[in-house]
Chain A
């Protein structure tokens, strides 16, 4: 009886898991399905690469890809430096007003940039950064979340390491980059995964900032493409475009799911 119940519960959870997977399975299925069959309800094994080819030729997805890559790498590269520096100050240095500065950084988590789309646009206009990739990136160059994550990691690094280096005459600046920074790799990787997936997926902000193909990331490109093809007959093409956009992160996730999930968990521990 107990065994039966256990099997029954497992069956339920698997059934729900399969239900959850349907949208993804469906995207893959439709993306490779010939256009002529896209509205038929029958299930068959006809498949084709025409849709993907059509998408690739119809819209500058290569440019979008490049832009997204530049944006996510650019943001994270700058974040690594700003976050490491600030986290070290919070973890290992005594200075006046530490608590207040810490609270000041909390404001960024309380009021995220996402809800400030309108004033953020005004600031970017004042800085003449509208319709530039730098404009998409710059509001995210400082990250309170990253600082808090790195600070927690820095505090676990034994202080003797630093003292030993100091005895040998290393400056704090050197110690930061030669001892702390390399030792923080796991925390940086976690933060990196969260940062990259966030900015890979970000939509409204780049939509507001950009106005030209040269600067648009994948998400904005996909939205424009889907808008242009909003009729039933274009389903296969839209799903093919969707698949193209989601594939890189999704494949990364499938291979490194444990790392991904742990990173998201650690980003939530405040």
Chain B
């Protein structure tokens, strides 16, 4: 008895020992940062107030009355509304095409996927040139069709669509590979049965393919939503959030508050808002997972 208890105890210690390194890094670099963000968000600390002073909810009330913060949230909302459906739909369409027996399937896959093995910062250099007013690829194209050109990234009207197009271009290929994997998991006899019954292609897509891809769609949706909030790299190269903050997004705003204006209270409060969005996306994922179970 004592022996088996000792054994149990030893295996328990062994398991926790194996987990210890990972748990340590998790504690120091995920949980502790979240904790200090929470604490900091109730203190004032900036260039004028060097030592943190307790401020209650001041940082939050200032944040929510900051018109720039409003603008950033609205920008991020539009950015999300542009990139998420766009990239999902294109990813699915590409997958449907690429899944057909195409010669050169390798070329098609490489061509759609390569943006995802290149640093965003490098892509930003390339797209900066595509969007360059007079000599850029896009301007030359619009000139050619007689539509004239503009400073795409310098215009409050065009900067957001320009960033959305670039992100969709990058993400579509990434989502395509998940949809391709999802398509390969759909049993072929379903399609054969539909064919025997003479069901039209359009109906087959909406009744078989699309519902059976729901788990993939949910996963891809979560990734796309998260990416919309994580977007920051290209802003450094392409717009710096401008013109007139028309392309300023939440993470870039946090960066500016923390490292350009050294307003740590504001940065902390904005980070809490960011964490709230991340948790909201997780909730969405769990709700979605509950609903899709019967497809498995």
Contacts and interface: CB of A to CB of B under 8 A. Distances in A.
A228 interface: no
A89 B102 contact: no
Interface of A is mostly: helix
A264 B116 contact: yes
Given A22-B137, A27-B126, A142-B21, A94 B271 contact: no
B177 A264 contact: yes
Interface in B10-30: 11-12, 14-16, 18-19, 21-26, 28-30
Nearest to B252: A204
A175 to B, nearest CB: 11
A86 B254 contact: no
Interface string A67-109: 0000000000000011101101100011110000100110110
Contacts of B117: 197, 201, 249-250, 252-253, 260
A46 interface: no
Interface in A197-251: 197, 200-204, 207-208, 218-219, 222-223, 226-227, 232, 235, 238-239, 241-242, 245-246, 249-250
A60 to B, nearest CB: 17
Residues of A in contact with B, size category: 35 or more
B157 interface: no
Interface in B108-165: 108-123, 125-130, 132, 135, 137, 140
Interface in A176-199: 176, 197
Interface of B is mostly: helix
A119 B268 contact: yes
Nearest to A107: B30
A93 B267 CA distance: 42
12 contacts: A20-B169, A86-B22, A101-B19, A105-B26, A110-B279, A112-B226, A115-B274, A142-B26, A202-B119, A219-B121, A223-B121, A246-B119
Given A113-B30, A119-B40, 13 more contacts: A21-B111, A23-B130, A114-B251, A115-B230, A116-B30, A117-B255, A117-B258, A123-B36, A197-B117, A200-B119, A203-B119, A218-B119, A264-B174
Q: Across chains A and B, which 10 residue pairs bring their CB atoms closest together, nearest first?
A: A142-B25, A119-B33, A95-B15, A201-B119, A139-B29, A17-B111, A85-B18, A89-B18, A86-B22, A93-B15
